[in-house]
Amino acid sequence: MSLEPVKVAVLDDYQRVSHVFGDWSVLQGRVKVDTFIETLHDEDALAERLKPYTIVCAMRERTKFPASLLDRLPNLKLIATTGMRNAGIDVAHAKSKGILVCGTGSGGESTLEHIWALILGTARHITLEDAGVKARRQLWQSTVPVGLAGKTLGLVGVGRLGGQTAQIAKAFNMEVIGWSPHLTPDRAAQAGVTFIATKEELMRRSDIVSIHMVLSERTKSLITGDDLALMKPSALFINTSRGPIVDEQGLVQILQDKKIAGAGLDVFDVEPLPLDHPLRGLHNVTLSPHMGYVSDDNYKVFWSHTVENIKSFLDGEPKRVMS
């Protein structure tokens, strides 16, 4: 390795915590680290920014690394991403160019906790009432919360997270039903969920619909505007998975027309959500800035493993290589 410090770029460190949760002192003298707070979506600007760096640290999928960008980064040798799966990185193309992609473990149950934070916050209008109290609204209460007991929670996807979500729903005495393109009655039964044969039936029957699918070419726009239109006027829609799984324009229209009671969203087509996006102006939606995976426990693992991965790479013994 060169005697000159290796240039490392830490991307999208919104909360400036990469050096709080990771002990970078073990790399002292071996690297020169530059930290960037804002996300760049323009590929020309991003290529110009990253061109000098040998190592880039990616926080989840905040910055995308398609083949076209990788081809413009001649010095890049390692992408250290958080988590062991990142749909925003063309891992196969990186490998073909001799660029290693290494991931990390995770800690805690942050996403599960956030799913229920959004469900409860949306059902009980927490953000609206909080804003009203702080604004010194004369009217003490302005909304009627939706009770969960006896209601039907519809899960689009019944994998690990979907199954855990179902367990908690039962503590609220909810009925839980599930559908996905490949869900079988046996798998639904194992998760304690009632199998629903069609997406349309799930949308019609549910009082709350929650998405628990991985984004892929097959699941992009899986939930259309027509699907959303099948929901009850009193129903709530929750998405903590990925924005493009849902037709965002269709969802905005449904909410603007008040065809459903509301939505709780943690994920969007473009992140950060543009300042002029119509979702920012709606009162029947509870928004969070893609924080489902964010917690102190998760960050401790993310950043400590990121530092380990860089050290291992510099030592010629890379760890946690993604294939």
Q: 169: buried, middle or exposed (CB in 10 Å: 19+, 13-18, 0-12)? A: buried
Cα torsion 163, 164, 167, 173 to 10°: value is -100
SS3 195: strand
Rounded CA-CA distance 209/193 in Å is 14
Concerning whether 218 is annotated as a catalytic residue, the answer is no
Cα torsion 183, 186, 191, 194 to 10°: value is 80
Q: 212: buried, middle or exposed (CB in 10 Å: 19+, 13-18, 0-12)? A: buried
Q: Which amino acid is at 155?
A: L
Q: Which amino acid is at 159?
A: G
Rounded CA-CA distance 167/161 in Å is 10
Region of 235 (left: φ > 0; alpha: ψ -120 to 50; beta: rest) is beta
Q: Considering 290, 305, 308, 320, which one is annotated as catalytic?
A: 290
Concerning whether 271 is annotated as a catalytic residue, the answer is yes
Q: Considering 242, 248, 308, 320, which one is annotated as catalytic?
A: 242
Cα torsion 189, 187, 155, 212 to 10°: value is 150
Concerning whether 277 is annotated as a catalytic residue, the answer is no
Rounded CA-CA distance 18/304 in Å is 9
Region of 243 (left: φ > 0; alpha: ψ -120 to 50; beta: rest) is alpha
Q: Which amino acid is at 183?
A: L
SS3 85: coil
Q: Considering 61, 248, 271, 308, which one is annotated as catalytic?
A: 271
Cite the active site residues. 242, 271, 290
